[in-house]
Amino acid sequence: MKLHAAVPYDDRVGMWTSRKRNSEQFATPTRNEEISETLRTALLANEDDSLIVLPGEIVAFQSPGIATMGLLRDGRLEAEELLALVRLVRRTGELRRGNIEVPRGPIGEGKRTLHITASPLNSSGSVLVYVNDESELERVDAIRRDFVANVSHELKTPIGALMLLSEAVQGAKESPEEVAKFASKMQSEARRLSELVQEIINLSRLQSRDPLADAYEVEIDDVIREAIDQSQSNAESRQIEVTYSNNGSGVVIGDRDQLIMAVHNLVENAINYSPDHTKVSVTSQIVDDLIEISVTDQGIGIPESEQERIFERFYRVDPARSRETGGTGLGLSIVKHVTQNHGGEVKVWSKPGVGSTFALRLPIYEDETIGMQGAEE
């Protein structure tokens, strides 16, 4: 399939698309005379990624991992915080360390945290920079902080309900009809608890992996079709028609299973909050060199005051409706995490009584040097 060229539409996109161009220069100095073979070999053997910046902010050497960090454009250093650090080292002649944040992609809120060590390389103004991606450590630390508080709170409700219902069953043992009624409610709460635990596991797996660490090419059209197929049973039980229009698609780099999970959650959310006998529409198109996947329903809509919070973990606009549909309050949070981890963003438009549209936007990739190893495994 012919891929779309990623043309920068602002500085951040330019920085992001440069990752693909620069990946062709893995471990290849642009000025061979400036870098000795011994130094290049030593840098490639180091666990940390590295680059050498010449005067004029020209990058004479970069290790393979640098190309995925969005630090360069057209062979020059572009990340402002890193530029400032390099210029400080050049001016003072002293080693400097610090942390910087760079975007994961051209859009969205996803960030990478990079630990930088920069030191003078020679008297001509060249600077050696070591880069250590600490994003994974920060993400794991954040998960550890949030997990206990969030999960313990959410598990209390179904567990408490099961305890009360078991007591009610004991008290109604002389009435088979009452026992049957309470047993049915216990089954419902048990299903809800099981779904909640599964969603927690999904979110935990999602947050513990960086999809770009072992990235491979993923065809978005296949992702959408698989996600819709997984929702067909739920849609048919409600007599809701799910349609798909491919108005433009392409390939992204990332994790196929995570992307299917994100689109599936959007489709399931649309079905669960729509009246019976309505329609859910899924479309894909190319917008500003991004793939945009939109899911539109004819459901109850979301008040404007609630729209900023719907991607929070366990947040529910209508708790009663969530209980009725089996919603855990984690589906949209998972969508947000997947999208940000792939360098994209998710937006919502909604009007109460009319319906909602969720738009998931991801950068298009065309760099064949990243490889297809993930797809072949």
pLDDT in tens, 319-342: 544 445 445 567 788 888 889 888
Question: Using one digit for the tens of pLDDT, what is the confidence trace for 39-64?
Answer: 777 777 676 788 888 888 888 888 87
Residue with tokens 């947000």: 336
- 4: in domain: no
Res 289 pLDDT > 90: no
Q: How far apart are CA 197 and CA 324, in angstroms?
A: 17
Segment 30-39 shows an average pLDDT of: 59
CATH of residue 111's domain is 3.30.450.20
Q: What's the angle, vertex CA 227, arms to CA 344 and CA 326, rounded to 5?
A: 100
Residue 217 shares a structural domain with residue 348: yes
Q: How far apart are CA 235 and CA 271, in angstroms?
A: 6
- 284: in domain: yes
- The pLDDT, as a whole number, for residue 226 is 94
Residue 322 shares a structural domain with residue 354: yes
Residue 220 shares a structural domain with residue 352: yes
- The pLDDT, as a whole number, for residue 56 is 86
Res 30 pLDDT > 60: no
**Lowest pLDDT segment from 159-168, 204-213, 283-292:** 204-213
Which residues, including other chains, have CB under 8 Å from residue 340's CB and lie 6 or more apart? 104, 108, 109, 110
- The pLDDT, as a whole number, for residue 300 is 86
Segment 84-96 shows an average pLDDT of: 91
- The pLDDT, as a whole number, for residue 25 is 39
Residue 41 shares a structural domain with residue 123: yes
Question: Using one digit for the tens of pLDDT, what is the confidence trace for 149-171?
Answer: 556 555 666 677 777 777 777 77
- The pLDDT, as a whole number, for residue 7 is 32
Q: How confident is the model at residue 367 (pLDDT cuts 50, 70, 90)?
A: low
Which of these three, 133, 148, 170, is where a domain ends?
133
Instruction: Show the domain range for 174.
Output: 134-208
Task: Tell me how far the alpha carbon of residue 216 is from its chain's centroid.
Answer: 15
Q: How confident is the model at residue 33 (pLDDT cuts 50, 70, 90)?
A: very low
Query: What Rg, from alpha-carbon coordinates, does the chain have?
Result: 25
Neighbours of 186 (CB within 10 A): 17
Residue 114 shares a structural domain with residue 247: no
Q: How far apart are CA 95 and CA 118, in angstroms?
A: 6
Burial of residue 372 (CB within 10 Å: 0-12, 13-18, 19+) is exposed
Res 15 pLDDT > 50: no
Q: What percent of the chain has pLDDT over 70?
A: 68
> Based on the structure, what is the number of domains in the chain?
3
Residue 173 shares a structural domain with residue 161: yes
Q: What percent of the chain has pLDDT over 90?
A: 20
Res 78 pLDDT > 70: yes
- 155: in domain: yes
Residue 38 shares a structural domain with residue 59: yes
Residue 321 shares a structural domain with residue 255: yes
Which residues, including other chains, have CB under 8 Å from residue 92's CB and lie 6 or more apart? none
- The pLDDT, as a whole number, for residue 242 is 95
Residue 296 shares a structural domain with residue 338: yes
Segment 238-266 shows an average pLDDT of: 90
Segment 190-194 shows an average pLDDT of: 73
Res 13 pLDDT > 60: no
- The pLDDT, as a whole number, for residue 285 is 93
Residue 140 shares a structural domain with residue 128: no
Instruction: Write down the mean pLDDT value for the chain.
Output: 75
Contact 227, 271 (CB under 8 A): no
Q: Tokens for 333?
A: 């949070």
Per the model's pLDDT, the better-predicted residue between 312 and 292 turns out to be 292
| C-alpha atoms less than 13 angstroms from C-alpha of 280 in its C-beta half-sphere | 29
Which of these three, 104, 133, 162, is where a domain ends?
133
Per the model's pLDDT, the better-predicted residue between 63 and 236 turns out to be 236
**Lowest pLDDT segment from 15-19, 189-193, 325-329:** 15-19
Which residues, including other chains, have CB under 8 Å from residue 26's CB and lie 6 or more apart? 62, 63, 64, 67, 369
Q: How confident is the model at residue 2 (pLDDT cuts 50, 70, 90)?
A: very low
Per the model's pLDDT, the better-predicted residue between 199 and 277 turns out to be 277
Which of these three, 156, 183, 208, is where a domain ends?
208
Segment 338-365 shows an average pLDDT of: 90
Res 366 pLDDT > 90: no
Residue 251 shares a structural domain with residue 319: yes
- 348: in domain: yes
First to last CA, the chain: 20
- The pLDDT, as a whole number, for residue 46 is 72
Return the DSSP state at 266: H
- The pLDDT, as a whole number, for residue 124 is 85
